[in-house]
Amino acid sequence: MSDTHAQTVPYVRKTMVEQSPPPASEIGVVKWLRENLFSGPLNIILTLISLWVVYWVVSHVGPWLINGIWDADSLSECREIRNATMGEGTSAACFGVIGERWQQLVYGFYPKEAYWRPVVALLVFFAGLAPVLFASLPRKLLYFTMASPFLMFMLLWGGSIWGPIAVALGFGVGYAAIKLISPINGLLGTVAAIVLPILYWFLIAGPLAGAVNSVLPIGLEYIPSKDFGGFLLSSIIGVAGIFLSLPLGILLALARQSDLPIIKWCAVTFIEVIRGVPLIVWLFTASLLLNYFLPPGTNFDLMLRVIIMVTLFSAAYIAEVVRGGLAALPKGQYEGADSLGLNYWQSMQLIILPQALKISIPGIVNTFIGLFKDTTLVVFIGLFDPLGLAGAIRASTEWNGIYWELFLFIGIMFFIACFSMGRYSLYLEKKLQRDHR
């Protein structure tokens, strides 16, 4: 074979080339640092500044936390222990106030011998909420979910057991009205399902509960609302506002898109008026002005008034979030529901609302988190939420001068609750995306 012919024959490798490791700059921590923290001059400067800020915060806050004193009965005793063990002027947190007053921060003025009742109510709350949050659980547990609010009310406030039962019967009246009247006239059935329970609660529920209790008195020791406080108070107002505002907000969103002018403009007026005024103003309205519109001698519980105002305020925001989800749906979804022969409520229940609520999940949860944090505003109308109790503790002789330790504890409690809601929101979004695919 000539040299020219040998040079034109292509070379064919018969064995695999051994794999070589990638460059160190393209794998692992080095790659992440290069791409995220040191990708350019501006990022390098910002990273160095951020590292300095983190170092400064940790160097100042770290010793304060590590040197914390937990076993002390007063701020002066904390300082004595610090001076004796660490030297005068050492940075040290006085966490003795948490160990001494954590029960007050959590339960307020709730009787100590009845602390078991909020704990059991919390377990009932989680047990009732689980079937709603996790579809894998048996659907029969939803019956317990429907009963859980009345069980929690009975545990927290006490009194006669027949009161919550009589109130629960009102929902049975509304359900019976829908089943009996809606087949004849859908609009009349809907109106009856709203009006009849209200009339029952105002006119019949109280006398009925009193009559049954006089014959068969069963219940727990009654604890008035003025004894509620701390994180227990914030949780009750926040949870009640969240669960009551969601269905009300959905109804307001549907009413705002209604073709009936009266219903539409009533919803628009309500939403715009509620959203246009700060929550603190509505709380002052609930605290001071509402009694002027009630009959003389009427004793309307302040906590109940606050829950009503918080619910209405949150419902106005939820309505706009849900309306955004409804507006994001293509018109073909509505036309598809009409082509299947579904009436308005069937199309909303089966096709429109599930998709709209899926789109609205981030906005809804964001509103709920804001609502839960806004419960601290009740301190301005005389209710002792955690911040109000922190002020009362700081005003006492033993803990006069304490500051950051109380707010750190309160912030951690609120962070746990709000972070949990945010994480469940992410879980639900990912789950619905997987189900959609």
pLDDT in tens, 212-248: 888 888 888 899 888 898 999 999 999 989 888 988 9
Q: How far from chain centre, in Å, is Cα 305?
A: 19
The continuous run of DSSP H or E covering 181 comes out as helix 162-181
In this predicted model, what pLDDT tens digit does every residue of 158-190 receive, in sequence order?
888 888 888 888 888 888 887 887 777 766 777
Below-70 pLDDT ranges, the chain = 1-11, 24-25, 186-187, 290-299, 434-437
- E strand or H helix that includes residue 159: strand 159-160
Cβ-Cβ contacts under 8 Å for 269 (sequence gap 6 or more): none
Q: Which of 363, 362, 339 is nearest to 351 (CA)?
A: 339
Q: Which fold has domain 100-110+223-436?
A: MetI-like fold (1.10.3720)
* Rounded CA Rg of the chain: 30
Distances (CA, A) of 39 to 23, 28, 51, 166: 17, 15, 16, 67
Instruction: State the pLDDT at residue 115.
Output: 92
Chain centre to alpha carbon of residue 272: 23
69 and 81 in contact (C-beta within 8 Å)? yes
**Helix and strand numbers, DSSP H then E, in the chain:** 19, 2
108 forms bridges with which residues in the sheet?
228
Which H helix or E strand runs over 410?
Answer: helix 404-436
Could you identify the residue written with the tokens 């109106």?
Answer: 191
Look up residue 176 and give its two tokens.
């019976």
* Amino acid 299: pLDDT: 67
What's phi and psi for 4, nearest 5 deg?
-65, -45
